[in-house]
């Protein structure tokens, strides 16, 4: 019975360690979100257009990589959710002068 207790304790220790790591990651992600939000708010109109273009290109490349990977559905869903949130934060790209 002692081996079963040790296994159970090891499992609980592993769960506690993983829970702490998840909480640390959540705190890190919130700090990064706050930082990115602050940077985005400080962008000039011209810089915002450049960031919008780069972000569209990068998110497309990352999406392609995710779709061809073995990433869990939850990872893909979180990526899509956060891409949309970033796009909302950046706002709609301005129409080019020739489009007006």
User: pLDDT tens across 41-85, in order?
Assistant: 999 999 999 999 999 999 999 999 999 999 999 999 999 999 999
In a domain, 100, yes or no: no
In a domain, 54, yes or no: yes
SS3 per-residue string spanning the chain: CHHHHHHHHHHHHHHHHHHHHHHHHHHHHHHHHHHHHHHHHHCCHHHHHHHHHHHHHHHHHHHHHHHCCCCCHHHHHHHHHHHHHHHHHHCCCCCCHHHC
* pLDDT score for 70: 96
Q: Are residues 1 and 27 in the same domain?
A: yes
Q: Are residues 51 and 35 in the same domain?
A: no
Q: Are residues 18 and 56 in the same domain?
A: no
* pLDDT score for 10: 87
Q: Are residues 52 and 19 in the same domain?
A: no
What domain range includes position 52? Answer: 44-93
Q: In total, how many domains does the chain have?
A: 2
């Amino acid at each position: 019975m002692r081996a079963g207790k040790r296994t159970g304790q090891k499992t609980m220790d592993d769960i506690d360690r993983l829970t702490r790591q998840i909480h640390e990651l959540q705190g890190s992600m919130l700090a990064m979100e706050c930082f990115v939000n602050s940077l985005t708010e400080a962008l000039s109109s011209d810089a915002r257009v450049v960031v919008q273009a780069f972000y569209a290109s990068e998110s497309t490349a990352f999406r392609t990589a995710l779709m061809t990977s073995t990433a869990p559905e939850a990872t893909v869903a979180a990526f899509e959710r956060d891409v949309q949130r970033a796009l909302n934060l950046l706002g709609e790209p301005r129409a080019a002068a020739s489009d007006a």
